[in-house]
Amino acid sequence: MTYDFCVVGGGIVGLATAYKLQCKFPNQNILVLEKENRFAPHQSGNNSGVIHSGIYYKPGSYKAKNCVDGRRELVSFAKEHNIAYDICGKIIVATDESEYPFLDQIHQNGIQNGVEDIEEIGPDRIKEIEPHCEGIRGLRVGCTGIIDYVGTTDKLAELLVGLNPNSKALTSHEVLSISKKEGISIVGTNNGDFRAKRMIFCAGLQADRMAKKDGINIKEKVVGFRGDYYELTAKGKHKVKHLIYPVPNPDFPFLGVHFTRMTDGEIECGPNAVFTFKREGYGKTDFNLKDTIDALTYGGTWKLFFKNISFGINEYRRAFSKKLFLKTLQRLIPSLTMEDIKPGRAGVRAMLLSTNGDTKDDFRIEYKDNSIHVLNAPSPAATACLAIGNEVVNMAIKHFKL
């Protein structure tokens, strides 16, 4: 069979894109290829499980629009298909007056982005919402929630095949090569070759490498940053009711260590953010020679390091010290003790770094011949997955002249 579309990558963005394509073109045959033995194995299944509101992102950006639209559609999707979720709300808490300008900027972003149910709160209201949290000012964002992203991804795969029995969503199929023959892409995998008229790449941590396999010469590289989580123990669990975030530092490309109630009732705290020597490495000492050489021979990596050297050193110290991690958590919840936290899981975030060390922070999608590449889809891509799927469908209609 020659498939009408082949989507490379079985994370939530890949399967949301395939599902949206199938909804738009029910008679077209779609193939999804995932190299691991399950869907959502990396970023989609190892993030904090938060449905982001859209409050952080620059007004007018891809992220802002797709996060707000995608969040609303994701919640409707979860309701319709009985996926575990909870719109529990969150608070963003300032612990020092120096954070006020950043808190105000976030608030203004939320208003401009059309985020509903935001309010400024003071210390008393913070205590009312989260009795163990200490803050001097904050924002309550009522439309933020939590969701099972792995369950969502599995449901998208199920619906895709249900819409068209000729479509397939396959795991354990790693794409090793891509060649062209008479306008058809021949996709070589470890489990045989496939033919497709059009290709869509949603490869996450491998996005730059897939682009090169497909003949796209991009200057940037994907560099991985691992985030370690701790969990609250049975003794400490009562100290967090919903979601608690610090005011993010605008000079650092991460949201900071926060508290998240998960859909299974566990409470996670984290993540930190440290350079990883293996793109898909979740252990503190994981190492891959190719990934390390790729990252450390790239000038953009070093420029990012030098720009953020003090942050980087602090993040690494925290990665190997429970005491230092706890100290960071105590900024928001001073009563936490060593007995309240235990080591949890880890995730790796793909960052598309420019040659000057800047993070390509907005979503980025490019075309080439019969291919579309989602090159950069960092947080809030999971929240925005259905909206990104809509964007890719519209781009496909235009680019492929469908």
Contact 86, 146 (CB under 8 A): yes
Q: Are residues 225 and 205 in the same domain?
A: no
Q: Are residues 270 and 187 in the same domain?
A: no
Q: Are residues 225 and 328 in the same domain?
A: yes
Q: Quick check: is 141 in a domain?
A: no
Q: Are residues 312 and 202 in the same domain?
A: no
**pLDDT value at position 65?**
94
Neighbours of 177 (CB within 10 A): 10
Q: Are residues 35 and 179 in the same domain?
A: yes
Q: Quick check: is 143 in a domain?
A: no
CA distance 302 to 298: 7
Q: Is the pLDDT of residue 235 over 70?
A: yes
Q: Is the pTM of this model over 0.85?
A: yes
Q: How far is CA 309 from CA 301, 302, 312, 338, in A?
A: 12, 10, 5, 28
Domain that holds residue 254: 221-231+250-359
Q: How does pLDDT run across 156-171, given as a tens digit for each residue? A: 999 999 999 999 999 9
- If you count them, how many residues does the chain have? 402
Q: Quick check: is 30 in a domain?
A: yes
Question: How many CA within 13 A on the CB side of residue 240?
Answer: 33
State mean pLDDT over 116-145: 98
Q: Are residues 286 and 366 in the same domain?
A: no
Q: Quick check: is 21 in a domain?
A: yes
Q: Quick check: is 58 in a domain?
A: no
CA distance 106 to 308: 22
Q: Quick check: is 71 in a domain?
A: no
**pLDDT value at position 253?**
66
Q: Are residues 347 and 381 in the same domain?
A: no
- Total of domains in the chain: 2
Q: How does pLDDT run across 366-398, given as a tens digit for each residue? A: 888 999 999 999 889 999 999 999 999 999 999
**pLDDT value at position 360?**
66
State the Rg of the chain over Cα.
21
Q: Quick check: is 381 in a domain?
A: yes
Q: Are residues 173 and 298 in the same domain?
A: no
Q: Which residues are CB-contacts of 345 (< 8 A; sequence separation ≥ 6)?
A: 46, 229, 282
Contact 272, 227 (CB under 8 A): yes
Q: Are residues 41 and 160 in the same domain?
A: yes
pLDDT classification of 144: cutoffs 50, 70, 90: very high
Return the SS3 of 365.
Answer: strand
Q: How does pLDDT run across 19-64, given as a tens digit for each residue? A: 999 999 999 999 999 999 999 999 999 999 999 999 999 999 999 9
Query: What is the residue whose two structure tokens read 């795969």?
Result: 157
Read off the tokens for 360: 């390509």
State mean pLDDT over 77-86: 98
Contact 34, 190 (CB under 8 A): no
What is the DSSP code (8-state) at residue 180?
E
Q: Quick check: is 95 in a domain?
A: no
CA distance 211 to 209: 5
What distance, in Å, lies between the first and last C-alpha atoms of the chain? Answer: 20
Q: Are residues 309 and 334 in the same domain?
A: yes
- What residues pair up with 32 in beta bridges, in sequence order? 7, 169
Average model confidence (pLDDT) across the chain: 95
